[in-house]
Amino acid sequence: MKEFDGKVALVTGTTGIGLATARRLASGGAAIIACGIDRAANAAMKAELEGSGAGALVIGADVSVPDQVRDALAAGVERFGGLDIIVNSAAVHPYGTATSTDFETWNKAMSVNVGSIYLTAHFGIPEMTRRGGGAIVNVASVQGFACQQNVAAYATTKGAIHTLTRALALDHARSGIRVNSVSPGSIRTPILEKAARGDNGSDADVEAAYKRFGEAHPIGRIGEPEEVAELIAFLCSAKAGFCTGADYKIDGGLTAGIGVK
């Protein structure tokens, strides 16, 4: 018997860490409900996962919009019979300071990165409670602890995820629902690639940037989405039954030092 046999998992975000996590949970026997706005990524995930394991339902949905989250979750519950796991990985990463970031961009970051976690909890926790509990993992970032310059909105959202994770864990522990977050360092995802490529960078420029980013981590490289997915899978599993209300860094030692060499 696989570790997630009979479980149903909602995963937001169909690229990067979200994709790797959906693959990992599906390989463990879980049925997958996936939500994302990237049509090409949605189609690729659908082609890969829908016919495998316990099945997958990939839905084009903006997870910052209440009705779309509610309807996606309802469709998944109707198909698979319930909900046991939520992994919130959807994110946007705007760059800017408080003075250079317009209010629309600020609100979009808050709505996608934090609001989506509220929405999946709001609509999903009642379904999980009916099943006797479950596990929620929110993808935060080391930028919620110590941030670089020019990421005011993004870093603020990631700090908020840490706080919301603790609040959800306390409020719903007695319903059998565990809530944790993970805080990655630099991970090979489309968001990091965009940062590495800049406006007109080549593939060689991207690889050079990855090497430079990796050198900032004591372990000497950037991380892979599959490594984060393994940590998430552990936190979703029965092996992590006494883990709730905590954040788990997966950053290659990035936040262990003080930045002075």
Q: Find the catalytic residue in 95, 118, 154, 210.
A: 154
* Least confident stretch, 164-173, 176-185, 199-208: 199-208
Q: Tell me which DSSP letter residue 223 carries.
A: B
Choosing among 3.40.190.10, 3.60.20.30, 3.40.50.720, 1.20.120.1730, the CATH entry for 8-185+226-248 is 3.40.50.720
Q: pLDDT, tens digit, for every residue of 9-20?
A: 999 999 999 999
Q: pLDDT, tens digit, for every residue of 49-100?
A: 987 778 999 999 999 999 999 999 999 999 999 999 999 999 999 999 999 9
Asked if pLDDT for residue 247 goes beyond 70, the answer is yes
Q: pLDDT at position 122, please?
A: 99
**Going by C-beta distance under 8 Å and a sequence separation of 6 or more, which residues neighbour residue 58?**
14, 32, 34, 36, 42, 43, 45, 46, 49, 50
Q: Give which of 118, 28, 48, 133 is closest to 85, Cα–Cα.
A: 133
Q: What residues does each domain of the chain span?
A: 8-185+226-248, 188-222
Asked if pLDDT for residue 260 goes beyond 70, the answer is no
Is residue 95 among the annotated active site residues? no
Asked if pLDDT for residue 258 goes beyond 80, the answer is no
Position 110, amino acid: M
122 neighbors 171 (Cβ within 8 angstroms):
no
Q: Give which of 123, 133, 114 is closest to 181, Cα–Cα.
A: 114
> Which pair of structure tokens corresponds to residue 131?
């099943």
* Least confident stretch, 53-67, 201-215, 219-233: 201-215
Q: Work out the percent of the chain whose per-residue pLDDT is above 70.
A: 98
Residue 182's region, left for phi above 0, alpha for psi from -120 to 50, else beta, is beta
State how far the Cα of 243 lies from the Cα of 178, in Å rounded to an integer.
7
φ, ψ of residue 138 to 5 degrees: the values are -105, 130
Average pLDDT, the chain: 96
Number of Cβ within 10 Å of residue 227's Cβ equals: 16
